[in-house]
């Protein structure tokens, strides 16, 4: 087992499961190098259906180099409607060619605009908008440019097949590979991984520390003016009479969330923990939830890394594990878990459940801790409790105000997929369930820093 990149260890990803040197090279040199296609779980009625009953226009859109939120804003502006009337199931990478569904409420298909680098296909109508549950997963086609050691892909694939519970043999037809189902660097911030630090302080009730972790706390990877502004925030925070308005003037205009928090501190005061909580609530509700989600994700990554360190299996349970069962409605090309169907594994059931895991019918899980999270027992439960204790967290801590509250869930610890490796150029094709990260697979092959993934 090989130690992970320094930046990855900061967000709980402490190991690779393959020991072989990476193939090297670069990803996303061109947007065409990274292609993502949604595996859809959403049915559209014919376009001729009654708009009164089916008021949402369903679109399949292929984007080149578009941020999902930016495209939604461009589409709504062109239609002269509120951005809130545009919905989608999953946010995609900007540096990619992506194909995904959108719904637009009360839109006229005849008025759809032509948008640069976007192909818009009208599929029909629906009676509701899209939500996260409508995304089964994503299929990826990823090209590696200028690899240093392309021949190492075979040895890495063999080790990942062994991790999946196979024998590691058979080339492209040798069975599925598997990797730890880590939350990728994007979850925490690629250039400045701090969202989990903010979230940990939120969960501990350290509202002032949460704001400063986000607004201050400069990173070496940031532009000079951003680092200077964050350093000034930290300097003001250390004074008895901080000048938050001066800090606001220093903060670059592009950092609108930081500016929103500073605006609230400058306008409404910063004397009590509640003042800082209100400052944190100045950002959109989805970002408030993201802070807590990132703290949960960091703890999850830590639990997986400790399980790896102790040598516990990922492809089958040990006594005390909690498993979930397969999603019966997932597309054929996906091996997908259903975290709503959980079962604790007792001594008499270990071997039976292990056979279900071997056949892709069940998955060992770890907690995304929240107020209603069910923790494991015996050694798996010990790992979970030790990580939470080290982070100063308890499930009851997630009974938080407003958008910060989380009931928690459990998540599969193994990410299994059928993967094909192309040789000239070196390219990888695979599909993953929603919520899992392509970088969790590609990091094993490249052994590169997060910014190169």
Contact (CB, 8 A) for 247 and 232: yes
Residue 373 backbone phi and psi in degrees, to 5: -70, 135
Residues in the chain: 453
Using alpha carbons, list the distances in angstroms from residue 91 to 185, 259, 311, 376: 15, 24, 34, 32
Residue 150 is classified by DSSP as: T
Nearest to 22, CA basis, from 452, 450, 445, 449 = 445
Ordered alpha helix ranges (H), 97-194: 152-163
Contact (CB, 8 A) for 27 and 442: yes
Contact (CB, 8 A) for 202 and 210: yes
3-state secondary structure of 54: coil
Q: Give the count of beta carbons closer than 10 Å to the beta carbon of residue 391.
A: 18
Sign of the Cα torsion 289, 290, 292, 293 reads: positive
CA–CA gap between residue 64 and residue 99 (Å, rounded):
9
Residue 373 is classified by DSSP as: P
> What is the H or E stretch that residue 295 is in?
helix 285-310
Nearest to 121, CA basis, from 42, 57, 59 = 59
> What is the H or E stretch that residue 293 is in?
helix 285-310
CA–CA gap between residue 94 and residue 287 (Å, rounded):
18
Peptide bond into 444 cis (omega under 30): no
Catalytic residue, from 33, 93, 129, 315: name it: 93
Structure tokens at 75: 């589409």
CA–CA gap between residue 136 and residue 131 (Å, rounded):
11
Residue 271 backbone phi and psi in degrees, to 5: -100, -30
Active site residue 93: yes
Instruction: To the nearest 10°, report the CA torsion of 302, 308, 310, 311.
Output: 160
Q: Is 146 exposed, middle or buried (0-12, 13-18, 19+ CB in 10 A)?
A: exposed
Helices 273-280 & 256-268 angle (0-180, nearest 10): 150
Instruction: To the nearest 10°, report the CA torsion of 1, 153, 9, 321.
Output: -60
Q: Which residue numbers are catalytic?
A: 93
């Amino acid at each position: 087992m090989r130690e992970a990149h320094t930046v990855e260890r900061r967000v709980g990803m402490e190991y690779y499961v393959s020991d072989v040197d990476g193939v090297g090279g670069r990803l996303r040199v061109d947007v065409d190098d990274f292609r993502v296609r949604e595996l859809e779980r959403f049915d559209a009625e014919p376009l001729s259906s009654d708009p009164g009953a089916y008021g949402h226009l369903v679109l399949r859109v292929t984007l080149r180099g578009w941020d999902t939120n930016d495209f939604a804003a461009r589409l709504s502006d062109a239609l002269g409607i509120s951005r809130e009337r545009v919905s989608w199931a999953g946010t995609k990478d900007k540096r990619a060619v992506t194909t995904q569904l959108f719904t637009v409420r009360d839109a006229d298909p005849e008025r759809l605009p032509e948008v640069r680098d976007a192909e818009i296909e009208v599929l029909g109508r629906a009676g509701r908008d899209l939500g996260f549950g409508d995304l089964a997963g994503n299929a990826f086609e990823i090209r590696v440019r200028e690899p240093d050691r392309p021949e190492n892909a075979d040895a890495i694939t063999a080790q990942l097949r062994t991790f999946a519970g196979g024998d590691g043999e058979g080339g492209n037809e040798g069975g599925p590979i598997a990797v730890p189902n880590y939350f990728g660097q994007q979850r925490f911030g690629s250039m400045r991984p701090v969202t989990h630090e903010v979230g940990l302080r939120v969960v501990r009730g350290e509202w002032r520390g949460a704001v400063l972790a986000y607004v201050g706390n400069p990173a070496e990877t940031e532009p000079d003016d951003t680092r200077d502004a964050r350093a000034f925030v930290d300097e003001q925070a250390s004074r008895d009479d901080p000048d938050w308005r001066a800090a606001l003037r220093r903060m670059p205009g592009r950092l609108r969330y930081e500016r929103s928090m500073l605006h609230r501190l400058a306008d409404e005061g910063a004397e009590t923990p509640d003042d800082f909580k209100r400052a944190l609530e100045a950002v959109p509700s989805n970002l408030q939830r993201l802070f807590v989600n990132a703290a949960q994700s960091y703890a999850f990554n830590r639990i997986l890394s400790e399980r790896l360190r102790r040598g516990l299996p990922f492809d089958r349970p040990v006594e005390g594990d909690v498993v979930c069962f397969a999603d019966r409605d997932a597309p054929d090309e996906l091996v997908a878990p259903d975290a709503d169907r959980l079962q604790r594994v007792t001594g008499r059931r270990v071997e039976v459940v292990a056979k279900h895991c071997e056949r892709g019918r069940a998955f060992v899980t770890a907690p995304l801790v929240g107020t209603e999270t069910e923790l494991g027992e015996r050694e798996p439960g010990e790992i979970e409790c030790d990580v939470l204790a080290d982070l100063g967290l308890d499930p009851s801590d997630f009974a938080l105000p407003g958008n910060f509250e989380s009931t928690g869930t459990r998540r599969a610890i193994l990410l299994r997929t059928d993967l094909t490796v192309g040789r000239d150029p070196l390219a990888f094709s695979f599909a993953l369930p929603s919520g899992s990260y392509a970088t969790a697979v590609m990091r094993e092959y490249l052994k590169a820093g997060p910014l190169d993934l």
